[in-house]
C-alpha cells in the first residue's frame, strides 16, 4: 500500500469523525439534516476510495448506495416530514453543548486507545480505519443519548450505521452480502421509523419522546 493511498483514506475517514462532531452540536433541525447529508457523502467518498485502492469494484455499489440513498433521498424525505410536522425550530439538548463536545472528544480518544494496540497485527490501513469507524459509532451513540427528539435520534442512529459501513469497507475483502444487507437494513429501518413518526404524531401531537414516557403504563 503506498503512503498516498493510505493518507487519502485517513483524510476521508477523519473527516467523517469531524462531521460527526458537527452533528453532535447542531441544534436546529434543518441544518442537522444537511450535515447528515454531508456525513453520508463523505462516507460515499471514503468507501469509493477504498473500492479504488483495494481493487474491489463491489464496494462502488456500497458507495453509490451511501451517496444516493443516505446522502440524497433520506435527507429529502426527512426534511418533508420535519416541515410537515412543523418542528423545524430548535432541539433541546439534555446537556449543554460544551460538556457534550468534551465527552465526544473523550470517546474518540477512547476508541483510539482501544483499537490501536489491539490491531497491531493488522496493517496500518485497517487499524486506523477501524479506530475512526469506532469513533463515528460512539459519537452516534452519544448523539442518540443526548437528543430527545425522535428525528434527531434517528439521525444519530444513521450516523452510527455510517460508521459501521466505514468499518466494513475498511476490512479488506469483506464479502458483498454484508454491505448490501447493511444498506438494505437501513432502508427497512427507515420505513419503520417513517411509519412510527407519523403514528406518534397521530397519537400525541408531538415527536418529543418525553411525552411518550408520560404515556407509559407501569411507571406512574
Partner 1 sequence: MNVSVGTVALAGLLAIPSLGIVLLAVIPNYRIAAPLNVILCAVTLVSAGALYSHRPEPSLYLIVDDVNTVFLIVGALVGFTTSVFSAGYIAHELQTRRLRSRDVRFYHAMYQLLMFALNLALVSNNIGLMWVAIELATLTTVMMVGIYRTSAALEAAWKYFILGSVGIALALFGTILVYVAAEGRLGEGMPAMAWDRLAAHSAGFDPALLNLSFVFLLLGYGTKVGLVPVHAWLPDAHAEGPTPISAVLSGLLLNVALFALLRFKMIMAGNPGVISPGPMMVTMGLASLIFAGLMIYRRRDIKRMFAYSSIEHMGIITFAFGLGGPFANFAGLLQMAMHSLTKSGIFFGVGYVCQLEGTQQIADIRGLTHSQPLLGWLLLLSVIAIAGLPPFGIFTSEFLLVTSTFAVAPWLAILLVVGLMIAFSALMLRIHGMAFGATDKHYSLGAYRLAPMALHLTLVAIAGVYLPGAIVAWFRHAAILLG
Which lies closer to partner 1 via its Cβ, residue 72 or residue 192? 192
| Cα 143 to Cα 16: distance, rounded to the nearest angstrom | 15
Smaller CB separation from partner 1, 124 or 185: 185
Q: Which is nearer to partner 1, 31 or 123 (CB)?
A: 123
Asked if 45 contacts 161 with a C-beta cutoff of 8 angstroms, the reply is no
Residue 10 or 34: the one with the smaller Cβ distance to partner 1 is 10
List residues bridging with 208 in a β-sheet.
149
Distance, in Å, from the CA atom of 10 to the CA atom of 100, rounded to the nearest integer, reads: 25
User: First-to-last CA distance in the chain?
Assistant: 60
Q: Cβ(153)–Cβ(189) under 8 Å?
A: no
Give CA–CA dist 164/182, Å, rounded. Answer: 9
> At closest approach, how far in Å is the CB of 138 from partner 1?
10
Cell of 51: 473500492
* Least distance from partner 1 to the Cβ atom of residue 199, Å: 6
Residues in contact with partner 1 by CB under 8 A are 114-115, 117-122, 126, 130, 133-134, 137, 141, 144, 150, 153, 157, 160-161, 164, 167-168, 171-175, 177-178, 181-182, 185, 188-189, 192-193, 196, 199-200, 203-204, 209, 212-213, 215-218
Question: Could you tell me the smallest distance in angstroms from the CB atom of residue 4 to partner 1?
Answer: 23
- Closer residue to partner 1, CB minimum distance, 30 or 144: 144
Q: How far is the CB of 196 from partner 1 (least distance, A)?
A: 6
Largest CA distance in the chain: 62
Q: What burial class does residue 89 get, using C-beta atoms within 10 Å of its C-beta: 0-12 exposed, 13-18 middle, 19+ buried?
A: exposed
Q: Identify which of residues 49 and 157 has a Cβ nearer to partner 1 in the complex.
A: 157
Query: CA 18 → CA 8, 29, 86, distances in Å?
Result: 15, 19, 29
CB of 98 to partner 1, least distance (A): 25
Q: C-beta of 50: minimal distance to partner 1 in Å?
A: 13
Amino acid at each position: 500500500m503506498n503512503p498516498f493511498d493510505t493518507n487519502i483514506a485517513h483524510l476521508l475517514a477523519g473527516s467523517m469523525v469531524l462531521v460527526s462532531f458537527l452533528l453532535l452540536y447542531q441544534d436546529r433541525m434543518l441544518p442537522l439534516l444537511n450535515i447528515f447529508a454531508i456525513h453520508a457523502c463523505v462516507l460515499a467518498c471514503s468507501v469509493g476510495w477504498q473500492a479504488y485502492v483495494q481493487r474491489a469494484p463491489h464496494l462502488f455499489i456500497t458507495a453509490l448506495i451511501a451517496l444516493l440513498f443516505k446522502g440524497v433521498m433520506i435527507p429529502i424525505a426527512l426534511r418533508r416530514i420535519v416541515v410537515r410536522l412543523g418542528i423545524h425550530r430548535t432541539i433541546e439538548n439534555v446537556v449543554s453543548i460544551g460538556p457534550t463536545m468534551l465527552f465526544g472528544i473523550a470517546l474518540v480518544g477512547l476508541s483510539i486507545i482501544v483499537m490501536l494496540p489491539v490491531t497491531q497485527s493488522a496493517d496500518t490501513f485497517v487499524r486506523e480505519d477501524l479506530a475512526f469507524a469506532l469513533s463515528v459509532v460512539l459519537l452516534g451513540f452519544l448523539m442518540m443519548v443526548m437528543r430527545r427528539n425522535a428525528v434527531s435520534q434517528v439521525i444519530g442512529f444513521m450516523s452510527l450505521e455510517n460508521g459501521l459501513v466505514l468499518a466494513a469497507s475498511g476490512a479488506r475483502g469483506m464479502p458483498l452480502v454484508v454491505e448490501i444487507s447493511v444498506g438494505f437494513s437501513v432502508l427497512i429501518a427507515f420505513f419503520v421509523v417513517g411509519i412510527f413518526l407519523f403514528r406518534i404524531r397521530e397519537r400525541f401531537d408531538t415527536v418529543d419522546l418525553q411525552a411518550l414516557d408520560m404515556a407509559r403504563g407501569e411507571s406512574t
